Amino acid sequence: MAAGKSALIIGASRGLGYALASEFLVRGWQVTATERTPSALHELGDLTVETVDIAVPEQVAALRERLAGSAFDLLFVNAGTNYTTDPSATFTDVSTEDFVQVMVTNALSPMRVVETLQDLVPETGTIGVMSSGQGSVADNTKGGFEVYRASKSALNQLMRSFAARHADDPRTLLLMAPGWVQTDLGGPSARLTIDESIPGVADTIEAWAGKGGLHYLDRQGQTVNW
Ligand SMILES: NC(=O)c1ccc[n+]([C@@H]2O[C@H](COP(=O)([O-])OP(=O)(O)OC[C@H]3O[C@@H](n4cnc5c(N)ncnc54)[C@H](OP(=O)(O)O)[C@@H]3O)[C@@H](O)[C@H]2O)c1
C-alpha cells in the first residue's frame, strides 16, 4: 500500500487509463482522474474527477488553474488514440487529416500537458506518459501499426527533449509500454487483457519512484530499446 500518495491521471474515461485509476485507488492512492465527457469514472469510487481535452491548450491551461495549490506524487498522461485497429494499416492509406490527428493527440498534446502541469509534481515525484512498445525505432523489424508507431516514436523523442531541457531535474520521467492490450484502441485481437497489463504498469511506476532520470519501460519494468 502507498497510503498518502497522490496521482493525477489524464485520460481515464475508459480502457487503460480507467483501469490505472482503479488500480491506484485499490492501492490506497488519492486519485484525480480526467475525462473529456461524463464517463464511468464517476462510479469508480472515492476519487476526484476533472475534465480536459488534451488537444485543446485552453482546456489544459484551465485545468492547471483549477488545480492550483495541489501537488501530485504522480502525473501520468495516458490519453492516446489511433484512427484504426487494423495492425496492417500503412502510412500510404492514411488521410492527412487522420495522420495529423494521431500525431497531435499522441505526441504533441501529452507533452503540452506535461509542460503545463509539471510544476504540480514535487522533486520526489514522477511524471509519466503512456507510450508503447510500438514507439521503439530499434525494435521495428516487422512493421505494422505504421502511423501509430510513428506517433509514439515522436512522443518518445519529445520526452527525451524535455528530459534534456531539465537535465538537473530530480524527478523521475517514465515512458510506459503496457503491452498490446484488449481495449477499444488495442482491438479484440490484442494479446493481453487489461488485468494482465495494468497491475504490472502500476508496479513499475511504484518501483521507479524516486529513482530520477528518464526511463522507457515495459510493464515488467524492463527497459525497452529506444
Ligand atoms: N491498448 C493497447 O494495446 C495499447 C498499447 C500500447 C499503448 N497504449 C496506449 O495506452 C493509452 C490508452 O489506450 P487504450 O488502449 O486504453 O485506448 P482507449 O480505450 O481507446 O482509451 C483512450 C483514452 O484516451 C482518451 N483520449 C483520447 N483522446 C483524448 C484527448 N484528446 N483528450 C483527452 N483524452 C483523450 C479517451 O477519452 P474519451 O473516452 O473521451 O475518448 C480514453 O479515455 C493510449 O495512449 C494508447 O496509445 C495502448
* pLDDT tens string 96-155: 999 999 999 999 999 999 999 999 999 999 999 999 999 999 999 999 999 999 999 999
131 in Cβ contact with 175 (< 8 Å): yes
Check: CB of residue 217 under 8 Å from CB of residue 76.
no
Q: Ligand 1 centre and the CA of 22: distance in Å?
A: 15
Pinpoint the alpha helices (H) of 46-178.
57-66, 96-103, 109-117, 146-165
Instruction: Specify the ligand 1 atom closest to the Cα of 53.
Output: 32
Question: How many whole angstroms separate alpha carbon 126 and alpha carbon 148?
Answer: 25
Measured by CA distance, the residue closest to atom 19 of ligand 1 is 15
16 in ligand 1 pocket by Cβ < 6 Å? Answer: yes
Has residue 2 got a pLDDT over 70?
no
pLDDT at 1: 46
Distance from C-alpha of 196 to C-alpha of 38, rounded to nearest angstrom: 27
Rounded to the nearest angstrom, the distance between the alpha carbon of 126 and the centre of ligand 1 is: 20
Predicted pLDDT of residue 93: 87
Give residue 168 CA to ligand 1 midpoint distance, Å.
31
Residues in the chain: 226
Atom of ligand 1 nearest to the CA of 39: 39
The dihedral built from the CA positions of residue 155, 192, 195 and 81, taken in this order, carries a sign that is positive
Whether 165 has a pLDDT exceeding 70, the answer reads yes
pLDDT of residue 171: 98
Q: Which CATH fold would you assign to the domain 47-218?
A: Rossmann fold (3.40.50)
Is the C-beta atom of 153 inside 6 A of ligand 1? no
At residue 3 the predicted structure's pLDDT band, cuts being 50, 70 and 90, is low
| Percentage of the residues of the chain whose pLDDT score is greater than 90 | 95
Quick one: cell of 189? 485481437
Average pLDDT of the chain, as a whole number: 97
- What is the pLDDT, as a whole number, of residue 87? 86
User: What is the tens place of the pLDDT at every residue in 7-45?
Assistant: 999 999 999 999 999 999 999 999 999 999 999 999 999
**How many A from CA of 165 to the centre of ligand 1?**
27
116 vs 120: CA distance, rounded Å = 9
Domain map of the chain by residue range?
A: 47-218
Query: In this predicted model, what pLDDT tens digit does every residue of 120-133 receive, in sequence order?
Result: 999 999 999 999 99
**214: nearest Cα among 178, 141, 147, 165:** 165
Ligand 1: which atom is nearest the Cα of residue 16? Answer: 16
Q: How far apart are CA 38 and CA 59, in angstroms?
A: 16
| Shortest-distance Cα residue to atom 17 of ligand 1 | 185
Give the Cα separation of 169 and 153 in Å (integer): 23
CA of 18 to the centre of ligand 1 (A): 10
**Cα–Cα distance, 33 to 93 (Å, whole number):** 35
Q: Is a pLDDT exceeding 90 seen at residue 85?
A: no
CB 128 near ligand 1, within 6 Å: no
Short-list 151, 177, 131, CA closest to 84: 151
53-84 pLDDT per residue, tens: 999 999 999 999 999 999 999 999 999 999 99
The answer to whether the CB of 192 is under 6 A from ligand 1 is no
